[in-house]
Amino acid sequence: MRQAFKLGLKREVPSPRQLCRAERDESLRHFASFLTDIPTTADEIAARSSMEKSEVDALLMRLSKARKCHIADWVCSGGREFAVWVAGAGRNAVNSYAKERQHCDETMAKGRPVAPFRDPLVSAFFGPAA
pLDDT, tens digit, 9 for 90 and up, residues 36-70: 778 888 888 888 877 888 888 888 888 888 888 88
User: Nearest to residue 11, comparing CAs of 21, 26, 19, 1?
Assistant: 1
C-alpha–C-alpha distance, residues 55 and 50, integer Å: 10
Which domains occur in the chain, in start order? 34-110 (1.10.10)
User: What is the reported pLDDT for 47?
Assistant: 86
User: What is the reported pLDDT for 17?
Assistant: 67
- Where the chain has pLDDT below 70, the residues are 1-19, 79, 98, 103-104, 108, 111-114, 130
